[in-house]
Amino acid sequence: MTALEQTPDTSELTAARFRRMNPMRGDRFGTVSFEGLPPGPGWPVLVQTACLLRFRHWFHAYLQRTYGDTFTVRLAPGGRPLVFFTRPEHVKEIFAADPEIFHAGKANGILGPIMGEHSLLLQDSSEHKRARKLLMPAFNGHALREYGGLITSVSRDEVATWRSGETFRSLDRMNRLTLEVILRVVFGVTDEERLAALRPRVNATVEISPAVLLGWGFPRLQKFGPWKRTVDNQHELDRLMYAEIRERRTVPDLADRTDVLSRLIRVGQEEGSDGDRLDDTELRDQLVTLLLAGHETTATALAWALFELGRNPELLSRSVAAAQGNRPEDDAWLDAVVKESMRLHPIIPMVVRTLMQPATIGGVDLPAGSTVGPSIIVAHAREEHYPQAEVFDPERFLGQAPPTNTWIPFGGGVRRCIGAGFALMEGVAVLREVLTAYDVASVGDDGPRVRNITSVPKRGAQVTVTGRRQRA
């Protein structure tokens, strides 16, 4: 009998998480006053919520054009205010604010049923500080260097399946590749039977609509249609993940393994440590967080990067030369390509914080219970910071950093994404393998489509690849 077959029933663990993390459950704030808040549309709450979730790229730009650099929307449940700030000096105030007052975890509550209460994205105050400290060793410079070889190997294997002259949705291929990176580098799974069991469960977790996310607040919906399928998938994914965690704790070569899960299990065991460590539930929550935060986001950035290079022969030629080189400036150029892709095509629309006490940002007095945050969509498109902002131009990131708090795909402050370095390293490694083997040419045009909390290419960023040796 395999370890997966021996796994104790985890259904009650999953069901209890759903109950605890219901995003519609009551909170201590009650009604929050809009008095003195920046202007915003007077539309019904459900209409504003739908626009923010489903039509975010149009909605953010419309709000900024209509109401200026600071504006307010009202969201379900209860019409709670969300105040957007788009100027970098205001973004700085938010990122530098007291994390005991500016809570990010509460603002990310819609993800709670999937990620769990121990998720780094959902924790605040001392709990967040502790979790970040325990996770950091798995993402420091030494660890990233050890992951590089495996990421390159996974990328090379994926590219080897492509055929010259083939046209495909690059988003699908990049999703497949980054999923494999997550499973092998983060989860540390190499057995093909287990990979085959995990892949569809992970994909089903990522590929959910905003309507399904909203359904977490209404337990009765979870007995029907897509909501029931999502719940059933979560139960099975949890079963597989707990089985992997429990078995991993007992492997004789745990000390030699370099994957993220093995590193996290070893936390607290080293000499001189305080002995604090992550239990099985905490490990499960953090792994799902890394999965959701690091899989589709990186894949989408890479798909857009390939699509943009495929539309510009000059940039493609320069990127191919960088992929074939081994100088520091070659990696710097590929890194700039990934960063410009994230700027021009924001994958996450905003960074949000919920105020536990009244606070002032940009001269605006904000009541406790309100949510504030930068609009990434607007910040990345401001002409005064990015001239010809609609143009794909990696030079913006070459040899210089963009103006502070104007490029914020990973958030900022003490809540900056812990996997930012991993994501950029992965992006460079993947581009290097793709462009060493193939040229890319974009097919048609494309634009953003909302998938869950992320935005992806509507048509999948279609490209045609041509192998180097097959080119005329």
235 within 8 A of 14, measured Cβ to Cβ: yes
Q: What pLDDT is stored for residue 132 in this prediction?
A: 94
Paired sense of beta strands 364-366 and 70-75, if any = unpaired
461 within 8 A of 434, measured Cβ to Cβ: no
* Distance (Å, whole) CA 329 – CA 331: 5
Query: For every one of its 472 residues, what pLDDT tens digit does the chain have, with 9 covering 90 and above?
Result: 454 455 568 999 999 999 898 877 656 666 888 889 999 999 999 999 989 988 999 999 999 999 999 999 998 878 889 999 999 999 999 999 999 999 998 778 888 899 999 999 999 999 999 999 999 999 999 999 999 999 999 999 999 999 999 999 999 999 999 999 999 999 999 999 999 999 999 988 887 777 787 778 788 888 899 989 999 999 999 999 999 999 999 999 999 999 999 999 998 776 556 779 999 999 999 999 998 888 889 999 999 999 999 999 999 999 999 999 999 999 999 999 999 999 999 999 999 999 999 999 999 999 999 999 999 999 999 999 999 999 999 999 998 889 999 999 999 999 999 999 999 999 999 999 999 999 999 999 999 998 878 899 999 999 999 998 644 3
Structure-token pair, residue 126: 């001392």
Paired sense of beta strands 462-467 and 167-169, if any = antiparallel
- Model's pTM, two decimal places? 0.93
Paired sense of beta strands 371-374 and 80-85, if any = parallel
- At 160 the three-state DSSP class reads coil
For 235, counting Cβ atoms within 10 Å of its Cβ (0-12 exposed, 13-18 middle, 19+ buried), the class is middle
Give the strand order in the sheet containing 438-442: 167-169, 462-467, 438-442
The residue with tokens 């093995």 is 262
* Distance (Å, whole) CA 392 – CA 310: 11
- At 375 the three-state DSSP class reads strand
Distance of CA 198 to the CA centre of its chain: 19
User: Is the peptide bond prior to 252 cis by the omega test (within 30 degrees of 0)?
Assistant: no
Q: What pLDDT is stored for residue 8 in this prediction?
A: 60
Which residues have a Cβ under 8 Å from the Cβ of 155 and sit 6 or more positions away?
177, 181, 429, 430, 432, 433, 434
CATH, residue 72: 1.10.630.10
Structural domains in the chain (count): 1
How would DSSP label each residue in 422-456?
Answer: HHHHHHHHHHHHHHHHEEEEE-S---EEE-SSSEE
Q: What pLDDT is stored for residue 1 in this prediction?
A: 42
* Distance (Å, whole) CA 173 – CA 306: 11
- At 24 the three-state DSSP class reads coil
Query: Nearest CA to 450 among 375, 378, 345?
Result: 345
- At 16 the three-state DSSP class reads helix
Q: What pLDDT is stored for residue 27 in this prediction?
A: 60
56 within 8 A of 104, measured Cβ to Cβ: no
Strand ranges for 308-383 from DSSP E:
353-355, 359-361, 364-366, 371-374
Structure-token pair, residue 150: 């495996």
Residue range(s) defining the domain that contains residue 350: 3-470
* Distance (Å, whole) CA 46 – CA 61: 19
Output 231-234 pairs: Cβ under 8 A, ≥24 positions apart.
231/18, 233/201, 233/204, 233/205, 234/14, 234/18, 234/113, 234/114, 234/205
- DSSP designation for 40: -
Structure-token pair, residue 216: 């977490």
- At 313 the three-state DSSP class reads helix
Task: Give me the amino acid identity at 269.
Answer: Q
Backbone angles phi, psi at 82, to 5 degrees: -120, 115
